[in-house]
Amino acid sequence: MFPQSLIPASARRGPTAAGVLGVTAALALGLLSGTASSAPLPSGDAVPLGKGYMGVGYVRDAEDFKPDTRQLALGSAPEASLLANPVGVDISAWQGSINWKSVRGAGIEFAWMKATEGTSYKDPTFSTNYLGAYNAGVIRGAYHFARPDVSGGAAQANFFASNGGAWSRDNLTLPGVLDIEGSCYGKTPAAMQSWILDFYTTYKARTGRDVVIYTSPSWWNSCTGGWSGMSARSPLWVAHWTSAGSPSIPGGFPFWTVWQYTSTGAVSGVSGNVDRDRFSANRSRLLALANNTP
């Protein structure tokens, strides 16, 4: 079970041409230096195994991307009605060492962190971050970067559940996330639906929880055909980097639960850019999601 948002979807806005031109250089610097990076890959590039993270496919699957000269204040605050909602971050090895006490002191209430990718990659910072966030009182969870090109959904769900994706009712552990984005991996919408459902069914059998789905409207609409089959099963974490007051949501989902609204956020305790997220309801509903309570 998961909390419903009372916040409607709004019009989507795309990144600027200047932002896209800067993507390649930013990614290259991150790969060479090993410093924190949240820059997405430019359209058409493949994601090397182990290099996936939330938002890496965002530019590629931006359904309405048209290069132009509009200015978009990515990372600007959402409308005032959302300010009481818990704020969070999502991180991976790109962010390097994190001071979780400072992160919590900056008002961050929740975080998801990359644990696994495919059936072989484990994020080297996961264990340290998972424990550090817990000790700092940040409600945290793990995410799996999906690679439907390397194995079936069930195999990846088992790998995730065995390497960070487990769950316990302790007020500080969120259900796991399936991060699915980028290309359609050569799959038809029907085949992709089957892959996602296999992952979901296996993860729930292993943990007792409904997996959260992280995706963008364009990816979901293109690669699953706007499938409604997960809307009654999984909370939606929507990626829509915008200064608008609320995000666009994929076809097949009536509301969002978590919104990743920028990849260029700044938070004390994290070096460089970090993804910023907002929960759709108040802290009591965040705890309900963590503890699987009504």
Query: What does the pLDDT look like over 70-121, one tens digit per residue?
Result: 223 333 444 455 567 999 999 999 999 999 999 999 999 999 999 999 999 9
**Cα dihedral value 24, 27, 32, 34, nearest 10:** 170
Catalytic residue among 109, 117, 123, 181: 181
Contact 113, 92 (CB under 8 A): yes
Identify which of 207, 187, 103 has the alpha carbon closest to the alpha carbon of residue 146. 187
Question: What values do phi and psi take at 7, rounded to 5?
Answer: -100, 125
More confident residue, 291 or 12: 291
The pLDDT assigned to 58 comes to 74
The runs of H, that is alpha helices, within 53-188 are: 100-105, 126-136, 153-162
More confident residue, 206 or 27: 206
Catalytic residue among 61, 90, 210, 275: 90
Assess whether 179 carries a catalytic annotation: yes
The pLDDT assigned to 81 comes to 52
Question: What values do phi and psi take at 115, rounded to 5?
Answer: -110, -50
The pLDDT assigned to 34 comes to 30
The pLDDT assigned to 45 comes to 52
Going by the DSSP 8-state scheme, the letter that residue 273 receives in this structure is: -
Catalytic residue among 109, 179, 275, 277: 179
The pLDDT assigned to 60 comes to 59
Assess whether 90 carries a catalytic annotation: yes
Mean pLDDT of 42-56: 73
Going by the DSSP 8-state scheme, the letter that residue 11 receives in this structure is: -
d(CA 211, CA 260): 17
Residue located via tokens 């292993």: 206
d(CA 193, CA 201): 12
- Mean pLDDT over the full length of the chain: 82
Mean pLDDT of 229-237: 98
The pLDDT assigned to 8 comes to 33
Identify which of 216, 141, 214 has the alpha carbon closest to the alpha carbon of residue 178. 214
More confident residue, 255 or 52: 255
The answer to whether the pTM exceeds 0.85 is no
Residue 24 has pLDDT above 70, yes or no: no
pLDDT class of 55 with cuts at 50, 70, 90: confident
Mean pLDDT of 123-128: 98
